[in-house]
């Protein structure tokens, strides 16, 4: 397993770097030498799902996989907001307004196609050479440029207020946390992302991914 693509189903509450380190340790032990392992695009610690790892010479192609389209399923909580856009931030109540399903459907129309999005301040984007999340944690003001992304499809799986579960297919660089916050703003309710699962990266599917337990790794 020296020059491979490995599909991993990342568990919640683990960083992508943590997954890489654990898999590298196992593969290096099996090979009897240090094996080079990299990832092709992170998932937030609270998120689960598809993570592409590359080993050996395949690490040179990591950027090819990073730029691919992705698909997610997410649960968005309406009526509250989070300082990070997810479960890891400070969550506060914003509104008791309860939109109908028709109102939610109507609001989602504006988020299909090319949209302008501001990535979360708690993200790995570099600002003047430093990660945005590090600047934010240090209490420094973070100004992240808006970006154009494409949302190819966006559909409701279930809606039972305050929980809105969606499925979406997006371009590389799209932040689902930002999408959740923007949907909440459009509805006038506030919102944050409670559950996020990546199911596809281009033609790579979570159905073909391995659990860490298959490597003898405990979560």
Domains (range + CATH), the chain: 5-67+203-215 (3.30.2350.10), 70-201 (3.30.2350.10)
pLDDT band at 94 (very low <50, low <70, confident <90, very high): very high
Q: What is the 3-state secondary structure (H, E, C) of 119-186?
A: CCCCCCCEECCEEHHHHHHCCCCCCCCCEEEEEEEEEEEEEECCEEEEEEEECCCCCHHHHHHHHHHH
Residue in 100, 216, 130, 122 with CA at minimum distance from that of residue 175: 122
Residues 193-216 have a mean pLDDT of 96
In 3D space, the residue among 54, 63, 41, 170 whose CA is nearest the CA of residue 111 turns out to be: 170
**Is residue 3 over pLDDT 90?**
no
At 147, is the pLDDT very low, low, confident or very high (cuts 50, 70, 90)? confident
Torsion angle of the four alpha carbons 61, 74, 135, 16, in this order, in degrees rounded to the nearest 10: -40
Catalytic residue among 44, 69, 86, 203: 44
Q: What is the pLDDT of residue 83?
A: 87
pLDDT of residue 127: 53
Q: Which of 119, 174, 129, 122 is nearest to 152 (CA)?
A: 174
Cα–Cα distance, 108 to 29 (Å, whole number):
48
Q: What is the mean pLDDT of residues 91-110?
A: 97
pLDDT band at 142 (very low <50, low <70, confident <90, very high): low
Radius of gyration over alpha carbons of the chain, in Å? 18
Check residue 118 and give its pLDDT: 82
Q: Which of 13-22, 38-47, 57-66, 184-193 has the highest mean pLDDT?
A: 184-193
Residues 170 and 155: their CA atoms lie apart, in Å, by: 12
Is 3 noted as a catalytic residue in this protein?
A: no
Q: What is the pLDDT of residue 71?
A: 98
- Average pLDDT (145-165) is 95
Tell me the pLDDT tens digit for each residue of 26-79. 999 999 999 999 989 888 889 999 999 999 999 998 888 989 999 999 999 999
CA distance 62 to 70: 15
Could you tell me which residue, 218 or 206, shows the higher pLDDT? 206
Q: Return d(Cα 144, Cα 155) in angstroms, integer.
A: 28
pTM metric for this prediction: 0.90
- Comparing 183 with 2, the larger pLDDT belongs to 183
Site of tokens 């003898």: 216
pLDDT in tens, 103-135: 999 999 999 999 999 877 555 555 555 555 564
What distance, in Å, lies between the first and last C-alpha atoms of the chain?
A: 22
């Amino acid at each position: 397993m020296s020059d491979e693509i490995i599909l991993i189903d990342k568990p919640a509450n683990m960083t992508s770097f943590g997954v890489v380190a654990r898999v590298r340790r196992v593969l290096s032990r099996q090979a009897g030498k240090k094996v080079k392992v990299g990832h092709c695009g992170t998932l937030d610690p609270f998120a689960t799902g598809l993570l592409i790892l590359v080993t050996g010479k395949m690490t040179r192609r990591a950027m090819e996989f990073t730029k691919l389209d992705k698909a997610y399923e997410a649960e968005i909580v309406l009526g509250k907001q989070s300082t990070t856009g997810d479960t890891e931030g400070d969550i506060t109540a914003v509104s008791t307004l309860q939109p109908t399903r028709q109102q939610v459907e109507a609001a989602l129309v504006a988020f299909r196609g090319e949209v302008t999005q501001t990535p979360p301040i708690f993200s790995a984007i570099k600002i003047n050479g430093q990660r945005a999340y590090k600047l934010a944690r240090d209490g420094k003001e973070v100004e992240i440029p808006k970006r154009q992304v494409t949302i190819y499809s966006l559909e409701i799986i279930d809606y039972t207020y305050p929980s809105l579960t969606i499925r979406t297919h997006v371009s590389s660089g799209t932040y689902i946390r930002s999408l959740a916050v923007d949907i909440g703003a459009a509805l006038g309710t506030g919102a944050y992302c409670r559950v996020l699962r990546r199911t596809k990266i281009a033609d790579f599917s979570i159905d073909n991914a391995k659990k860490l337990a298959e490597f003898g790794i405990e979560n």
